[in-house]
């Protein structure tokens, strides 16, 4: 190769590019990528110089195959984040082949299996500047692996969620080896006891975020709380402490906190720790005066005394009491004592009445987010109070507040014009309500599933005013047709996610109009029998970022649709094909999509065991749901081969049911179930 000529050629091809400083070029590329994620591909393929520039610019590497990592790292020398979440199987050998990559600071192995301590040792050796490591779901992660991880001395963030084999020994190694640790997740690390945690609190003084969810069984929790809480509370920098599902924490354990006091702690999550009562909460409140967020969901009944104890934490901004039972006046005293509250979550609480909620909301002037999902007793009175006293609400979730009338719902649109997130699923919403909502111009997420009275006209109002809409849920809105979907698709170009399941009137026209939303990544058209492969092909060619697709019970969709998907939807990660008219050919063509992770293939009449196995052999799935009937038909050794490559089989045994219920009948039935 004559380098001068090549050099000359390159110059000639992109003189402008060559003169640009990398910094400027990168700024430009960042902006281009923000606008259209796929634009960088086009850029890289424009010329060698562009290709090289794009390689230098790339910071995130999301690999499909772990064994190609050395080559990829050689090309993208500036990559700082290595995401292996699309590789179900990462072998020790693949990690051992890594050459030194000083630029890599973050590695995600949370969805990979097959590597052991040797691989981790190689990884840590190859990435001397590793600060961020995600090893979640490492069911075969052992103490030996932890000892290797401990050699990454600069590690700041480490997730070991569900590493159930980890014991104190491994945690001790990490605690000693990684003194810079800021964030650590030990969720579901049931092998860890107070000794390891004690050492951790002693050695890792910089810890900011600690997740100990589900680690405290009833028996050992007392020990943990007694022995480590003092040490943990002394951590100067601890800001977030997550203790979800720690059933062992009870009042006795918490009252022992009385002498301790953590000035730095800002977030405490004790949801699902159902052995705690108001006595323990009082101790917590005393010990952590600077809390900003407190989560006591599914803990204990809320009494007035408990609510008034929140007065001690005067900075409290977020209070989550999901699933709690409210005693008389419990909610009222929240209104009295937590004046600074910005976010209040009361979903699935029992005992929330109109008077209490109205009173509380009238005191909480700063409220920005309110969740009253399934508070079935509240009526228009509450809604009037909410909308009048909290006009600056940005998020309101009120799924299944069935006593609120359509007139009440109109108040939301009229008064809360700052709303960005609104969940009115299963309410008595009608077109008038939607028309009122058109005042909420910042709306980005709108969930109006199971609102049977809305029609195309209402959607046209939304589409005209809510151009920022990213997510819309129209699940079982039987009243809407292609026209309404077209309105939305035209009026909301930023749309990323749409759920049109069981909107049985929809045809290919809807999909054709949706294909103009180029950012669409989630499409659910389950139970739309009139949709066909033609519509799906439009989506495949138009929405190139599509990653989640649910076409269950779209009986008209056949192999052709799959072939289009395989050619254009390279971002596809998850697909549900149940009841479709797809055969072996469609399945095999689908399997050529590299990143495909999850596939649900139940009741697929055209698929044979051989075709199925061929497809599974080819694609690197992580999880596949199959009908149980296949279990006997697929050779066992083939199943083992597929499993060895990191795929998990889940066998479904559901009856074959083709008939689609009308939406109103379905709603009636589900309400009857609820009453029972």
Partner 1 sequence: MEGGLRRSSETSCKALPSMSSNSSMINDPDQQGGRFNSMDQSCFARPGQSFPAFPPLFGVQSSSLYLPDEKIGNQFEPNSSLNNPTVDWDPQTMLSNLSFLEQKIKQVKDIVQSMSSRESQVVGGCSEVQAKQQLVTADLTCIIIQLISTAGSLLPSMKNPLLSSNPAIRHLSNTLGSPMGFGFSCNQQPNTNDEVTIPEISKTPDYEELMNSLNTTTQGESDELMKCQNPCGGEGSEPIPMEDHDVKESDDGGEGENLPPGSYVVLQLDKEEILAPHTHFCLICGKGFKRDANLRMHMRGHGDEYKTPAALAKPSKDSSSEPAPVTRYSCPYVGCKRNKEHKKFQPLKTILCVKNHYKRSHCDKSYTCSRCNTKKFSVIADLKTHEKHCGRDKWLCSCGTTFSRKDKLFGHVALFQGHTPALPMDDVKVTRASEQPQDSEAMNMVGSIGYNFPGSSSDDIPNLDMKMADDTRYFSSLSFDPCFGGLDDFTRPGFDISENPFSFMPSGSCSFGPQNGDS
Which residues in this chain contact partner 1 in the complex, by CB under 8 A?
38, 41-42, 44-45, 61-65, 67-68, 71-72, 75, 91-94, 96-97, 114, 116-119, 140, 142-144, 147, 150, 168-169, 172-173, 176-177, 195-196, 198-199, 202-203, 563-564, 566-568, 570, 588-589, 591-592, 594-595, 617-620, 637, 640-641, 643-645
Rounded CA separation 544/424 (Å): 30
Q: How far is the CB of 41 from partner 1 (least distance, A)?
A: 5
Residue where the block lists tokens 């590329």: 29
Q: Which residues pair with 83 in a beta bridge?
A: 62, 108
- 403 vs 617, beta carbon nearer partner 1: 617
The nearer residue to partner 1, 41 or 315, going by C-beta atoms, is 41
Shorter beta-carbon distance to partner 1: residue 45 or 674: 45
What string of H, E and C letters represents the secondary structure of 561-606?
A: HHHHHHHHCCCCCEEECCCCECEHHHHHHHCCCCCCCEEEECCCCE
For the chain, helix (H) and strand (E) counts, in that order, are 30, 24
DSSP E strands: which ranges in 78-117? 81-83, 106-108
- Least distance to partner 1, CB of residue 198, Å: 7
Between 42 and 355, CB nearer to partner 1: 42
Q: Based on CB atoms, which residue is closest to partner 1, 140 or 217?
A: 140
Q: Produce one character per residue of 481-494: b if its CB has 16 or more CB atoms within 10 Å, e if not.
A: bbbbbbbbbebbee
CB of 428 to partner 1, least distance (A): 45
- For residue 134, what are the β-bridge partners? 108, 159
Task: For residues 276 and 321, give the distance between their C-alpha atoms in angstroms, rounded to a whole number.
Answer: 13
- Phi and psi at residue 248, in whole multiples of 5°? -75, -15
Q: In angstroms, what is the minimal distance from the CB of 79 to partner 1?
A: 11
Q: Which residue, among 230, 270, 231, 269, has the nearest Cα to 251 in the 3D structure?
A: 270
Looking at the Cβ atoms of 195 and 518, the one nearer to partner 1 is 195
Q: How far apart are CA 406 and CA 428, in angstroms?
A: 5
**Residue 555: Cβ within 10 Å count:** 19
Name 242's bridge partners.
211, 269
Q: Which is nearer to partner 1, 117 or 652 (CB)?
A: 117
Q: Transcribe 200-247 into DSSP letters.
A: HHHH-TT--EEE-TT---HHHHHHHHHHHHHHHHT-TT--EEE-TT-T
Structure tokens at 561: 């649709």
DSSP 292: S
What is the nearest approach in angstroms of partner 1 to the Cβ of residue 588? 6
Alpha-carbon distance of 168 to 178, in angstroms, equals 15
Inter-residue contact 308 to 336 (CB < 8 Å):
yes
The whole-angstrom separation of Cα 281 and Cα 296 is 9
Considering the complex, state which of residue 67 and residue 457 has its C-beta at the smaller distance from partner 1.
Answer: 67
Measured N-to-C along each axis, helices 380-389 and 354-363 cross at an angle, to the nearest 10 degrees, of 0
CB 589 within 8 A of CB 566: yes
Smallest gap from residue 555 Cβ to partner 1 (A): 22
d(CA 284, CA 291): 10
Compare residues 585 and 629 and give the one whose CB is closer to partner 1.
585
> Which residue, 169 or 530, is less far from partner 1 as judged by CB?
169
- Given the complex with partner 1, which of 589 and 600 has the nearer CB atom? 589
- Measured from the CB of residue 605, what is the shortest distance to partner 1 in angstroms? 22
For residue 70, the minimal CB distance to partner 1 (Å) is 8
Min separation Cβ 74 and partner 1, Å: 8
**Minimum distance of partner 1 from residue 460's CB (angstroms):** 35
Nearer to partner 1, 528 or 616 (CB): 616
- DSSP output for 383-408: HHHHHHH-TT-SEEE-TT-TTS-HHH
Least distance between partner 1 and beta carbon 128 (Å): 19
Shortest Å distance, C-beta 594 to partner 1: 7
């Amino acid at each position: 190769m004559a380098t001068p000529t090549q050099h000359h050629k390159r110059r000639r091809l992109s003189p402008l590019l060559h003169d640009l400083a990398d910094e400027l070029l990168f700024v430009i590329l960042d902006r281009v990528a923000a606008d259209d994620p796929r634009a960088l591909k086009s850029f890289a393929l424009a010329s060698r110089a562009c290709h090289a520039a794009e390689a230098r610019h790339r910071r995130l590497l999301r690999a499909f195959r772990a064994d190609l990592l050395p080559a990829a790292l050689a090309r993208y020398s500036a990559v700082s984040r290595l995401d292996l979440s699309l590789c179900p199987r990462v072998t020790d050998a693949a990690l051992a082949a890594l050459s030194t990559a000083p630029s890599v600071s973050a590695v995600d192995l949370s969805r990979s299996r097959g590597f052991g301590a040797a691989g981790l040792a190689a990884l840590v050796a190859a990435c001397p500047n590793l600060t961020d490591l995600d090893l979640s779901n490492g069911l075969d992660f052992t103490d030996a692996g932890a000892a290797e991880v401990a050699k990454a001395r600069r590690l700041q963030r480490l997730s070991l969620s569900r590493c159930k084999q980890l014991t104190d020994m491994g945690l001790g190694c990490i605690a000693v080896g990684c003194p810079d640790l800021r964030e650590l997740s030990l969720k579901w690390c049931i092998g860890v006891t107070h000794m390891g945690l004690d050492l951790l609190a002693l050695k890792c003084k910089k810890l900011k975020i600690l997740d100990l969810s589900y680690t405290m069984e009833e028996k050992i929790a007392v020990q943990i709380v007694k022995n480590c809480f003092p040490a943990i509370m002394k951590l100067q920098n601890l800001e977030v402490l997550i203790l979800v599902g720690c059933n062992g924490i009870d009042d006795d354990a918490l009252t022992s906190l009385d002498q301790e006091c953590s000035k730095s702690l800002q977030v405490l999550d004790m949801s699902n720790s159902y052995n705690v009562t108001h006595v323990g909460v009082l101790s917590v409140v005393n010990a952590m005066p600077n809390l900003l967020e407190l989560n006591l969901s599914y803990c204990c009944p809320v009494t007035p005394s408990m609510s008034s104890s929140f007065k001690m934490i005067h900075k409290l901004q977020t209070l989550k009491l999901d699933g709690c039972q409210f005693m008389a006046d419990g909610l009222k005293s929240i209104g009295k004592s937590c004046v600074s509250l910005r976010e209040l979550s009361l979903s699935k609480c029992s005992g929330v009445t109109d008077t209490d909620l109205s009173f509380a909301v009238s005191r909480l002037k700063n409220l920005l987010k309110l969740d009253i999902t399934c508070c079935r007793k509240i009526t228009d009175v509450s809604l009037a109070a909410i909308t009048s006293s909290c006009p600056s609400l940005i998020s309101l979730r009120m799924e299944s507040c069935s006593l609120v009338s359509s007139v009440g719902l109109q108040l939301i649109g009229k008064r809360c014009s700052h709303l960005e997130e609104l969940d009115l699923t299963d309410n008595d919403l009608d077109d008038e309500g939607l028309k009122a909502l058109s005042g909420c111009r910042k709306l980005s997420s709108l969930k109006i599933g199971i609102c049977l009275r809305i029609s195309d006209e209402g959607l046209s109002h939304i589409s005209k005013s809510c151009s920022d809409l990213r997510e819309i849920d129209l699940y079982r809105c039987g009243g809407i047709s292609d026209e309404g979907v077209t309105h939305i698709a035209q009026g909301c170009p930023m749309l990323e996610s749409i759920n049109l399941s069981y909107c049985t009137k929809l045809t290919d026209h809807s999909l054709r109009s949706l294909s103009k939303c180029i950012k669409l990544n989630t499409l659910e058209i389950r139970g739309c029998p009139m949709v066909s492969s033609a519509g799906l092909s439009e989506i495949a060619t138009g929405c190139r970022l599509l990653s989640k697709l649910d076409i269950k019970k779209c009986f008209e969709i056949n192999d052709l649709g799959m072939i289009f998907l395989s050619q254009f939807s390279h971002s596809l990660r998850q697909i549900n094909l149940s009841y479709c008219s797809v055969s072996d050919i469609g399945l095999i063509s689908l399997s050529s999509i590299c990143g495909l992770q999850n596939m649900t293939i139940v009741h697929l009449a055209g698929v044979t065991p051989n075709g199925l196995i061929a497809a599974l052999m080819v694609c690197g799935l992580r999880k596949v749901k199959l009908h149980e009937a296949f279990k006997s038909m697929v050779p066992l050794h083939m199943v083992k081969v597929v499993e060895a490559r990191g795929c998990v089989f889940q066998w479904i045994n559901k009856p074959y049911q083709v008939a689609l219920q009308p939406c109103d009948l379905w709603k009636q039935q589900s309400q009857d179930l609820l009453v029972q």
